[in-house]
Amino acid sequence: MKKLLTLAAIALFGFSATFAQTTTTVKQAPKKVTTTTKTEAKKVEKKATSTATKLKADGTPDMRYAENKAAKVNPAGPKKKDGTADMRYKANQAAAKKKN
């Protein structure tokens, strides 16, 4: 029985080795980096730092900074227990429409 299992293991290893990926070397031309991309990146960084509020990459305010936390708008109408606007009231619905 041990011989049969050993033979099956060797056969399995042989089959897996034949289907293994072969390594091929592909020579690619070196990519040239133009100076325009560097200047564009610098322009983007300057825009982000020049604004009064610090923004994340997706454009939303970064709430880790104190000036962004202070600028957080309170809802006009009634609030729920957790502090969010209660959307059952028209004052809060109108504020949400203006925001979007």
What is the DSSP code string of 59-85? SSB-TTSHHHHHTPPPPSS-B-TTSSB
pLDDT value for 6: 92
Let me know if residue 94 belongs to a domain: yes
Is 20 inside a domain boundary?
no
In the predicted model, what is the mean pLDDT of residues 81-88? 86
Q: What is the pLDDT of residue 12?
A: 83
Model pLDDT, residue 20: 62
Residue 42, domain member (yes or no): no
Number of domains in the chain: 1
Distance (Å, rounded) from C-alpha 17 to C-alpha 11? 10
Interval 9-40: pLDDT, tens: 888 887 776 666 666 677 776 776 665 555 56
Percent composition of the chain: helix, strand, coil (DSSP 3-state, to 5):
50, 5, 50
Task: Render pLDDT for 33-73 as a digit per residue (tens, 0 to 9).
Answer: 665 555 565 665 555 444 467 888 888 888 888 888 776 66
Distance CA 85, CA 78 (A): 6
User: Domain limits at 86?
Assistant: 52-99
Rounded CA separation 52/59 (Å): 13
Neighbours of 85 (CB within 10 A): 19
